[in-house]
Amino acid sequence: MRLLRPSFLIAAAASALLGGCVVAPAYPVAGPGEAIYAPMAPPPLYTEVVPVAPSPVHVWINGYWGWGGSRYDWRPGHWAVPPRPGYTWQPRQWQHGPHGWQPRGGRWGPR
């Protein structure tokens, strides 16, 4: 019979105890249909190099700062085709309100 080292037993016990721990984000993450609020203003926008359009109908959608629950993450720009003729892209902007910073826009809409 082989004996286990005490250090192995301590490590196994610690991982068993900590295996079920869940760390909550510093700021709540919104679920589907819920409003997103960030406690601080987003960083300045990056200046992106816009590549050549894949076709004449594609529209460039600028990158933006998205809120990930505890920090901002940069989402790079990309080319997209409008869903219908006459639709334009309404860029995402962050507005300050009583609950913090909230994103607005970031969708297609009629002119």
pLDDT tens digits for range 3-55 = 555 554 455 554 544 444 444 344 444 544 568 899 999 999 999 999 999 99
Cβ partners under 8 Å of residue 64, min gap 6: 45, 74, 75, 91, 92, 103, 106
CB 29 within 8 A of CB 68: yes
85-111 average pLDDT score: 94
Both tokens of 48, joined, read: 């992106």
Q: Domain total for the chain?
A: 1
Look up the domain containing 57 and give its range. 27-110
Q: What is the pLDDT of residues 60-77, one digit of tens each?
A: 999 999 998 899 999 999
pTM higher than 0.85 for the full model? no
Q: Of 32, 27, 89, 14, which is closest to residue 57 (Cα–Cα)?
A: 89
Asked, for residue 1, whether it belongs to a domain, the answer is no
Q: Structure tokens of 30?
A: 């919104």
Residue 21 lies in a domain: no
Residue 81 has pLDDT above 80, yes or no: yes
Domain contains 93: yes
The whole-number pLDDT of residue 111 equals 86
